[in-house]
Chains A and B, each alone.
Chain A
């Protein structure tokens, strides 16, 4: 009998393209002098932890594949192209070549469909994978030696409300968790987004000039840090309960549903999150964190 699959880690992995730009990987055409070290060093620490974990696939929920007609899943085994960020093309022009675990993606789609969620497999070979997926996955696994599954963000918050988003994303999380169990695979979940998400609408002449970087306003900072404290305290059900208010008050990128999806799939952890770093990027609040269900390997990082 097949071993039951499990979620071995959940990662909050923000995707500002600035972080890849600052790292200067060979895949990216733009060149930088650095920047945003607090986040990048935090990511590097988390990536090292991932190297110590036995897992089969990264499953990423991304706000930058925005679908209005249901939830979509990448459905071809390989995608190779160049991703140019439509907002920050000066920073991110990344040549990618990634593999998809189509079998797991299809299982997740089926489970979501059974739960009454509108779904679609994406099987157009010309489709360009979004930069949210690429940034988060690259920073967590720069070797790209594991397949991924990408799940689109259905825009419930905009079409209905943040409350509807919370319910729908939680249902999707439960469905994906069931599919993972049935698959027999060891899975890392990736919730790809910032916390508060108000950007500055101008950019420094040198984007990595850290003397210009700060959070957009103090209110957003206070909200972000409130959530960080609740994560440290293992109060994830409470975090999801206040998610609609947080999302509205800070224009948070949690509007996409990724965080609610991940917490639902993880069963709303009551153990402390591992905190790897918090920093602003062009005014938005970004946290790198993870949830390790294994009491023996869970760390107190920061």
Chain B
């Protein structure tokens, strides 16, 4: 934590896509290669940082029973993607910060969330986490922590989950790189394509992606958090109830707009919008908006609306 204000020290944040193409076939399309180069730039910055921990929130690890946190010290397996199995296998051998995983789970419970660690040999670490960790931290120089994305969680729960991450970071005094693994627009082509011909699925998806990138580039993370429901309605396939990564990232990084944002790459991944972006906290400020949607510190669970009236 920083000495002045008991706040956790987050060195910078990374937003990156979950698809395996930059890992498995960066040569298949110029854009995949650019994404791969952006990952490599991030890897270099991580190596040059004094980070103690890489904290990952992955949208391709759905959970149902609360929020699951990977806590096996050395998960080793060979992962294969459900759709892109023909691109190849992804062997992994990761180093997990078990103390932080336990601390995060406890911090989440203190804020009213249901949370648990998972430490099982052979647990299927998701494609997004595997791609991110392989490319950002290939030699396991820095231990990692991976947290799931609960498929039923909405804004309040996700923001509280982010705040619990801050609690745990402050408690353990660890300097962190925060990584969110998510697409921008997530609609893929529903047929097989020649990778050379890859492009964003529609003009509308591209327009929205460009707008989101403008916000990221200006460091306006809290503004993006506030825009999450619009983004979900406009360019997200409704696989889950909401577009949550900006909520979690903003809550974990401090709920403000004071960052230097850098869009290192933005390219199509089988039609979806894949971007590698960094957000580094600064002293400056951007934006002239305030927000009236209530902030939330503690998760109270369901409001039992169904029990309060006759059906």
Contacts and interface: CB of A to CB of B under 8 A. Distances in A.
Interface of A: 65-70, 72, 82, 84, 86-90, 93, 118, 120, 122-124, 126-128, 152, 154-155, 158-159, 199-203, 217-219, 282
A72 B88 CA distance: 16
Interface in B108-148: 114, 118, 120-124, 126
B189 interface: yes
Nearest to A207: B65
B64 A201 contact: yes
19 contacts: A67-B83, A69-B83, A69-B270, A70-B191, A84-B122, A86-B123, A86-B124, A87-B63, A88-B65, A90-B118, A120-B192, A122-B85, A123-B85, A124-B85, A124-B88, A126-B80, A201-B64, A201-B65, A201-B150
A249 to B, nearest CB: 13
A158 B124 contact: no
B262 to A, nearest CB: 30
Contact of A118 (B64, B80, B124, B192): B192
Nearest to A85: B124
B78 interface: yes
Contact of B120 (A87, A93, A199, A218): A93
Contacts of A93: 120, 122
Closest 8 A/B residue pairs (Cβ): A126-B89, A124-B85, A127-B80, A82-B122, A126-B78, A84-B122, A202-B114, A89-B120
B82 interface: yes
Given A93-B120, A126-B80, A201-B152, A69 B65 contact: no
A69 B86 CA distance: 12
Secondary structure class of chain A's binding surface, majority of residues: loop
Interface of B: 61-66, 78-80, 82-83, 85-86, 88-89, 114, 118, 120-124, 126, 150, 152, 187-192, 237-239, 270, 306, 311
A297 B306 CA distance: 44
Contacts of B64: 87, 199, 201, 282
A191 B112 CA distance: 38
Nearest to B87: A124
Contacts of B189: 69
A68 B66 CA distance: 26
B49 to A, nearest CB: 30
A66 B80 CA distance: 13
A142 to B, nearest CB: 22
Contact of B118 (A70, A89, A122, A217): A89
A127 B122 contact: no
Nearest to B238: A158
Given A69-B190, A159-B187, A217 B124 contact: no
Contacts of A67: 82-83
Nearest to A75: B85
